[in-house]
Amino acid sequence: MLSLSAAAQPAPIVKEGTTVKISEHVYVIPDELVPMVPNVGIVVGKRATLIVDPGMGVRSGEAVARETAKVSRNGELYIVTTHFHPEHTTGEAGLPPAAKLMRARAQQQDVDEMGMEWVKIFSSRSAVVAEVLQGITSFRKPDELFDSEKTLDLGGVRVRMVRLGPGIRAATPCSSSKRTACSSRATSR
C-alpha cells in the first residue's frame, strides 16, 4: 500500500479559483480531496450571503472571503458551521469581523468544552497543520445561537439551518447523525 509522505501532502487550506456554481444561489469551493479541507458552501441572496464551513485557519478564511467576493457583492455576511472541528470552524478567523456567526447551542457547548483541545489535537498531527492553525487561540463568539433550527432570509433566498441531534461529543467524533447541519436546499421566494 502506497502512502504520501507528510511533506508531499498539500497544506489543508481552502483552494482559490475552484469555486463552482451548483444552483441559482449556491456555490461550492470543493475540497479537492485534500484531507482536513471541507467543501465550503456559499449561498447568495439579494442582500446577504451565507458561508458554510470556512475551513481551517486564517489563510483558509481569507481564501473563502476572496472567493465569496467573486460571486457576491453583498455587504451583509453570515457564517455557519456543520460542527466544531477545527477544519470546519477556525477559518472564521480569516473572515471579516462584521460577518455574523450563527451557531447551534449544542455546537457552542462543544466549542466551549472541547474546541481548543481539538485545535491542539489537530496541531499535533503534523508541522504543516500546526502552522495552518498558528495564531488560533480561541473560537469566534457567535452573534446568534439557535436551539433546533433557524431560518435565515438572505433576500429572496431562505436558508433553513437544522440541528440534527446533539453536538459531536468526544465519544462520537464523526457520527453523521449527530451533526449540526445547514440544509443544502436554498429556496427562492
Average of per-residue pLDDT across 24-45: 97
Question: pLDDT confidence of 164, banded at 50, 70, 90?
Answer: confident
pLDDT exceeds 90 at position 186: no
Structure confidence by residue, pLDDT tens digits, 69-85: 999 999 999 999 999 99
Q: Output the pLDDT for position 7.
A: 53
DSSP one-letter string for the chain:
-----TTTSPPS-PPTT--EE-SSSEEEE--TT-TT-PPEEEEE-SSEEEEE---SHHHHHHHHHHHHHHH---SEEEEE-SSSSHHHHGGGGGS-TTSEEEEEHHHHHHHHHHHHHHHHHHHTT-HHHHHHTTT--SPPPPSEEESSEEEEE-SSEEEEEEE-SSPPPTT-TT-GGG-EEEEEEEEE-
Check if the beta carbon of residue 53 is closer than 8 Å to that of residue 83: no
Check if the beta carbon of residue 92 is closer than 8 Å to that of residue 138: no
Average of per-residue pLDDT across 127-131: 97
Looking at the chain, the whole-number percentage of residues with pLDDT higher than 90 is: 80
Average of per-residue pLDDT across 152-159: 97
Q: Output the pLDDT for position 168.
A: 58
What's the pTM value of the predicted model, to 2 decimals?
0.85
Q: Output the pLDDT for position 172.
A: 30
Average of per-residue pLDDT across 22-50: 97
Residues constituting the chain:
189
Question: pLDDT confidence of 178, banded at 50, 70, 90?
Answer: very low
